[in-house]
Structure 1
Amino acid sequence: MTGRLAILACGGALPVMLARAHPDALHFTLRGVPSELAATAQDFPLERIGALFAAMKEAGVSRMVFAGTLVRPALNPAEFDAEMMRLAPGLMAAIPQGDDALLRFVISMFEEQGFEVLGAHELLPGLTAEAGLAAGPAPSEAELADAARGVHILREISPLDIGQGCVVAGGQCLGIETVQGTDALLSYVAAAPAALRRGQRGVYVKAPKLGQDLRIDMPTVGPRTVAAVADAGLAGLIVAEGKVVLMQREEALALAAECGVFLLSQVFE
């Protein structure tokens, strides 16, 4: 018999969506990491991760999902329990290597305890953007060429573990997503001189890094992204089919149509 599902809930709407779809799931949060499921969750400081493991096992959890935006909490080594003391050297070694290395290590910590780690997309059918033009006008050949250039850029920087998005206009890269995130990138592009776009509006491209474990930190777009793309004067956004979460789908697609920007999903070679 399959054991219970646990949602390790961080910020944003995704944990709430999972909780609604899986009402029997148990909720856990990490102290210092905001979550909309906080009221129904058991809360544990990351320093006492051994206690979290024990609580999950005692509750009969065998499957778990990380959900939402994770804000790294500050750690107090004086409060480490025995399990965190054991894991700390590996954790500290992973942190400077970038988010992907860190998140892979976090997954391995739970797998080592016997938990099956699932991706949110495995528990919420239809969560990712399907192939094709979802909203807005069809992109021009020039915009598709800019998208192809954006895909190439993201593939080239993947080993550096920098980010999951970039903006290209007229073949010119106007910005790459870094730790500041999508909003910062698109606000920077909005403020850039129009002449840099070489006569094109430009496109925003979103995709996971090569080899990224999609069970955690899957790229995400939603109404806020669509609004920022429109505010930046871009023609639209192109995302990797089946590998980018589309949050608040109906609202995002309606907003794209209203703003006249396209949302296209395709396989990225």
Structure 2
Amino acid sequence: MLALIAGTGDLPRAVLAALPDRPLICALEGFEPSVTPDITFRLERLGSFLRALETRGVTRICMVGSVRRPALQVWAFDLATLRLVPTILRSIRKGDDGALRGFIAVLEARGFAVVAAQDVAPDLLPPAGVLTRAHPAPYHVHDASVGQGQVALMGEADLGQACVVRDGRIIATEDEGGTDAMLIGARDIAVGAVLFKAPKPRQDRRADLPVIGVRTAMDAAAAGLAGIVIEAGGVMVLDLAGVIDVLDDQGMFLWVRPKEAA
């Protein structure tokens, strides 16, 4: 049986819609998903939560949606979780990527198979190539290379997965506010630029793979961007047809770009 640990955003609903059978839906307390959870849990009671999954026959777990590191209440740890406390605390101190890797390690140690959203819903990964009527110009190709380098640097510091590039210069970078907030903040300076988005260099792609959707396309259009570049095989697109419609209407491009060798 499959369990979805659903975070915020539109990805949980998209993955759920792509599955032939309804999985068990779980949510971390404080991060209300766009789908109705069957189980809500606290990290301080992780041991009891995993035991409940085992009781229900869960063998596979897929993490979808956005979740930030929660503030832990030491007094709230239950007996079933006490032996996991050192692992949880070490992971939390290592940033978002470290927390995810630590959480995955705990799940695997209990015998669960951790599967990626793109594995259970492969249609969320678009094919490589330019998918819109408009195509990138040669200077946009250069901007994409600059964006790839910038996102790699940001990923090393666990600081985001997207940036805005124009004329070979980085004019905005993603932070905890996310891609859409970055685009809204760049509206006065981003005309003619490109949005570049890709996974962090060494992240575990079974969790936190980047996502764009119709709202991203609309915000990019409102900011005056020329187009969007995403890494092929590394960024999921929610409602690909809707994204392409928005970009075609604005004369913008969507380039699903194979990653360049470092």
SS at match of 2:187: helix
Deviations 1:175-224 (A, max 9, x none): 111222112221222133xxxx7xx7111100001121111000011111
C-alpha distance in structure 1 between counterparts of 2:84 and 2:20, whole Å: 31
CA contact (8 A) 1:98 1:162 kept: no
C-alpha distance in structure 2 between counterparts of 1:133 and 1:250, whole Å: 13
CA separation of 1:22/1:11 partners in 2, compared to 1, >3 Å: closer, same or farther? Answer: farther
Say which of 139, 161, 173 aligns to 2:170: 173
SS at match of 1:129: coil
In the other structure, the counterpart of 2:39 is: 42
Q: Segments of 4+ in structure 1 off by > 4 A?
A: none
C-alpha distance in structure 1 between counterparts of 2:168 and 2:158, whole Å: 23
C-alpha distance in structure 1 between counterparts of 2:186 and 2:9, whole Å: 25
Residue 85 in structure 1 maps to residue 85 in structure 2: no
CA RMSD between the two structures: 1.7
TM-score (norm 1): 0.90
In the other structure, the counterpart of 1:32 is: 30
SS at match of 2:123: coil
Equivalent residues in 2 for 1:200-239 (5 A)? 201-239=192-230
Deviation, structure 1 residue 104: 0.8
C-alpha distance in structure 2 between counterparts of 1:46 and 1:208, whole Å: 25
CA contact (8 A) 2:69 2:92 kept: no
Note the residue ranges of structure 2 that are not aligned, 5 or more in a row. Answer: none
Identity between Structure 1 and Structure 2 (%): 33
CA separation of 1:188/1:136 partners in 2, compared to 1, >3 Å: closer, same or farther? Answer: farther
In the other structure, the counterpart of 2:248 is: 257
Deviations 1:115-162 (A, max 9, x none): 000001000121112101112411100111111111122223332111
Residue 103 in structure 1 maps to residue 100 in structure 2: yes
Deviations 1:86-106 (A, max 9, x none): 223332233332211111111
Greater alpha carbon shift after TM alignment, 18-27 vs 132-141: 18-27
CA separation of 1:190/1:136 partners in 2, compared to 1, >3 Å: closer, same or farther? Answer: farther
In the other structure, the counterpart of 2:73 is: 76
CA contact (8 A) 2:69 2:96 kept: no
C-alpha distance in structure 2 between counterparts of 1:229 and 1:173, whole Å: 15
CA contact (8 A) 1:129 1:243 kept: no
Greater alpha carbon shift after TM alignment, 15-24 vs 135-144: 15-24
